Structure 1
Amino acid sequence: MSNPIINVRTDAGGITVHYLEAGHQNNPTLLLCHGYPETAVAFIPLMNLLRDKFHLVAPDLPGIGESGKIDSADKLTIASFLNEFLKTLKLNKPAVIGHDIGGMIVYSLLRHFPDSISHAVIMNTVIPGLSPWEEVKKNPHIWHFAFYSVPELPETLIDGHQQQLFDYFYDTLSFNKNAIPTEKRQQYVMAYQSPASLKTSLDWYRGFSKDEKDNSGLMPTTVPVLYIRGAKEPGNTIADYADGLKKSGVHHVTSKLIDNSGHFSPEEQPAAVANVINEFLR
């Protein structure tokens, strides 16, 4: 098989980073940031479709899976770490792609380190502080935002029950119920099984109040942004999310719905997502 996906480990600022890599390094680079409750493995279907045209780098986020933990889990701190990771790998102005929590991190990269990237793709998420953030927080179906923000209690209740909890999200938020098979689900559970990894994932949500502040009052940006959402994903319309980005000062926003997809678009409909990304980056 040409351009196989390989496992790589490197040191960035004294922290070990595990990442998946594929494609020729002379091709344009894409940095892929996964969401909750997943790892870089979530992007394997997409990487298989894009590896002939792009150089792909998909890290496990700090503190998850085989990647070392950093001091804080707010999105600006993670974005700053990933910016240093890009320098370590000598990756010049890649396009950055983020799903779910990874999309929030990509927004921080876009707004705080715009000179480090060429394009941004944000998938299946809402950005803290940007419309329709307040509506999303009030949605009772997004109960985990409030629950995870409680100190210490979630760790006590979730520990040992990651499989049941994660299955709930995969089964209720996806339209294609077979998109995340048993073997992959087990990989995700293993990645969040340690107390440190579990706490890291909950701290992503505990950092939302800081994220809101970090995302406010920023200068406008001309970096092109693509917002992707599953057509079967519950919640606000895609126009609401695109308008929120525009009102925040993102001048060039394109939005695309992915048919027959819920929240996990890169795994539910990887071919459609790959086509949209190809079109955007062309």
Structure 2
Amino acid sequence: MKNMFASAFIATSLFVAGAAHYAHAASNDDNIPAAAPAIAAAVAKIADGKADVNGVRYHYLLAQGKPGAAVVVLLHGWASTSYMWRYVMPQLVARGYTVLAPDLRGLGDTSKPATGYEKANIADDIRMLVAKLNLDPHINLVGHDMGGMVAYAYAAQHPDEVRTLAILDVPLPGIEPWDQLIQTPRTWHFRFYSVQDVPEMLIAGRELEYLKWFHHSEAVNTRAFSNEAEETYAREYAMPGALRAGFEYYRAFPEDAKANREFAKTKLTMPVLGIGGSGSFGPIIGDHLRHVAAHVEALNVQGSGHWVAEEQPAVVTNALLKFLPRPQ
């Protein structure tokens, strides 16, 4: 493995801004590591690698804590890759967690198969990746957007292996009020992306323009998306097959809904944290997750839209540090 995370991110203005942001937050909250040198040391521990699991070559970022450290798995969503965790991941590493952040099936530098985008199947991908990397199988899952759907499918299928579950700003297919939500203007893109071939045809070659518009349309704090961040995402979604793979996540929703209705017949018993943006799903995420879990905490993040980990990273990191078990 090579330490690509450091070369890609530490020298950027994104890191400088993030370090300053956390240093300010730390003056008011001991749960946020304060010093930029501590974050730099954490970033230096993050290496990238690739592994073949479930017929897919996965790209991942991994920082190993001390032996016995609690494992946190960070799962991104659509219009993102593992790059979305550039603020949160170093903070967790600095606290001593072992942290894994893969690019999900079909996205980022992970290979792009034609099929297999049902969230239960992608949960199998991640479980196999955890095993392949010889990590403790009893993990703490954090998922945003599609990653949150995958995280729920993982926890529902393997509840004894998930210590805690955090789902960031996403509704679960098939779970109330899903049927109402998918008919609202708020979720217009669910229907658009589900159409075969047309979204790819209209967006291909315009990835930067489209993603910049889409990120801003879903954000409250639009300053979270610098030109550098937008260009990074655009390069990743302009890779051959990436748009199609991303839209397959939406085209799998009918199967996901069917699976989730079965999963929900048995409520999760591990601690569950729902985090949502006040300008997005924050007002409903707690009640939504209580349909599938018995022990739910909820946080409605003010000053954020959908992209909570990028729009308000200090708030999200603080909430995770309070929620997660101690690193050792």
| TM-score, with structure 2 as normaliser | 0.81
* 1:12 aligned residue (18, 38, 53): 53
Confirm or deny that 1:63 pairs with 2:106. Answer: yes
Q: Is the 8 A contact 1:22 1:47 kept in 2?
A: no
Distance in 2 between the 1:262 and 1:151 partners?
A: 28
Q: Percent identity?
A: 32
Residue 221 of structure 2 aligns to a residue whose secondary structure is coil
1:30 corresponds to 2:30: no
1:129-278 to 2 correspondences below 5 Å: 129-218=174-263, 219-231=266-278, 233-234=279-280, 238=283, 240-248=284-292, 250-278=293-321
1:2 corresponds to: 41
Q: Kindly report structure 1 stretches of 4+ aligned residues shifted beyond 3 Å.
A: none
For residues 25 and 185 of structure 1, the distance between their equivalents in structure 2, rounded to whole angstroms, comes to: 34
> The residue matched to 2:163 in structure 1 has which SS?
coil
C-alpha deviation, 1:62, in angstroms: 1.1
Structure 1 gaps of 5+ residues are: none
Asked whether the equivalents of residues 47 and 56 of structure 1 are also in contact (C-alpha less than 8 Å), the reply is yes
Alpha-carbon distance between aligned partners in 2 of 1:115 and 1:242, rounded to the nearest angstrom? 22
Contact 1:31 1:97 in 2 (8 A): yes
The Cα RMSD (Å) is 1.6
Give 2:146's aligned residue.
101
- The CA deviation at 1:130 is 1.1
Tell me, yes or no, if the aligned pair for 1:83 and 1:113 is still in contact at 8 Å: no
Q: Which sits farther off after the overlay, 214-223 or 13-22?
A: 13-22
Give, in whole Å, the separation in 2 of the partners of 1:234 and 1:262. Answer: 5
Give the secondary-structure state (helix, strand or coil) at the position aligned to 1:194.
Answer: coil
Q: Tell me the amino acid that sits aligned with residue 49 of structure 2.
A: V
Conserved? CA contact 2:50–2:58, under 8 Å: yes
Aligned runs of 1:55-94 on 2, under 5 Å?
Answer: 55-70=98-113, 71-92=115-136, 93-94=138-139
| Displacement of 1:136 | 1.5
Secondary structure at the aligned position of 2:173 is classed as coil
- Displacement after TM superposition at 1:197 (Å): 1.2
Q: CA deviation at 1:25?
A: 4.5
- Alpha-carbon distance, 1:134 to partner: 1.7
Indicate how the Cα distance of structure 1 residues 23 and 273 shifts in structure 2: closer, same or farther if over 3 A, else same.
Answer: farther
- Aligned residue for 2:41, secondary structure, equals coil
State the Cα distance separating 1:159 from its structure 2 match.
Answer: 0.8
AA partner of residue 6 (structure 1): A
Largest Rg, 1 or 2: 2
Structure 1 residue 247 displacement after superposition: 2.2
Is 2:171–2:288's contact at 8 Å kept on the other side of the alignment?
A: no
Matches of 1:77 and 1:100, distance apart in 2: 16
Q: How many Å separate the matches in 2 of 1:268 and 1:129?
A: 28
Quote the Cα distance in structure 2 between the aligned partners of 1:15 and 1:72: 10
**What CA deviation, in whole Å up to 9, does each residue of 1:63-87 have, x standing for no partner?**
1121123431111111111111111
Give the Cα separation in 2 of the matches to 1:33 and 1:257.
20
Q: Structure 2 stretches of 5 or more lacking a match?
A: 1-39
Q: Distance in 2 between matches of 1:207 and 1:14?
A: 18
Question: SS state of the match for residue 276, structure 1?
Answer: helix
* Paired residues, number: 278
How far is the alpha carbon of 1:23 from its aligned partner?
Answer: 4.9
Question: Which deviates the most, 141-150 or 203-212?
Answer: 141-150
SS of 2:57 mapped into structure 1? strand
In structure 1, what is the Cα distance between the partners aligned to 2:228 and 2:48? 18
Q: How far 1:14 moved relative to its partner?
A: 4.6
Query: TM-score of the superposition, structure 1-length normalised?
Result: 0.93
